[in-house]
Amino acid sequence: MPQIPEKIHELTVGQLSARSGAAVSALHFYESKGLISSRRTSGNQRRYTRDTLRRVAFVRAAQRVGIPLATIRDALAELPEERTPTHEDWARLSEAWRSELDERIKQLNRLRDHLTDCIGCGCLSLDSCVLSNPDDAFGERMAGSRLMVERGRRRRG
């Protein structure tokens, strides 16, 4: 990983990409979504402060555990600008995500445990599908195959 001399306080997009491991296109995307920011030089080139390295690492770590970008952006907005997120910042922000991650883990465990049933079912029996219809919640409203028709109408409508 290329080292950046301490005397350099701003990074080009190429330097930020090389140091963070994120593609230049990803950095541009993060910036367009308000996750990171840059200033423009007189030649309209992006310049990022050094603390952006930690912000990119924060974004990528949060993405790896499935946190949506909008949630990550809201979390980063709570941090002061021009300051590297600290261990305490990460602990505080990640605590708020704990219940969401626990629910996602529960869903993934259900998927893993019932994957064979799902493949055998082919989702033709939504009344008994533990993944699409846990505890037959939709069975009280209508039969399973009609539910698929209803979902198709909502998407088109």
pLDDT in tens, the chain (157 residues): 556 656 678 999 999 999 999 999 999 999 999 999 999 999 999 999 988 998 899 899 888 888 889 988 888 888 776 666 778 887 887 787 888 888 888 888 887 877 766 555 555 555 556 666 666 665 666 554 555 555 555 555 5
Q: What is the pLDDT of residue 21?
A: 94
Q: What is the pLDDT of residue 36?
A: 92
**What is the three-state SS of the chain?**
CCCCCCCCCEECHHHHHHHHCCCHHHHHHHHHCCCCCCEECCCCCEEEECCHHHHHHHHHHHHHCCCCHHHHHHHHHCCCCCCCCCHHHHHHHHHHHHHHHHHHHHHHHHHHHHHHHHHHHCCCCHHHCCCCCHHHHHHHCCCHHHHHHHHHHHHHC
Instruction: Specify the pTM.
Output: 0.64
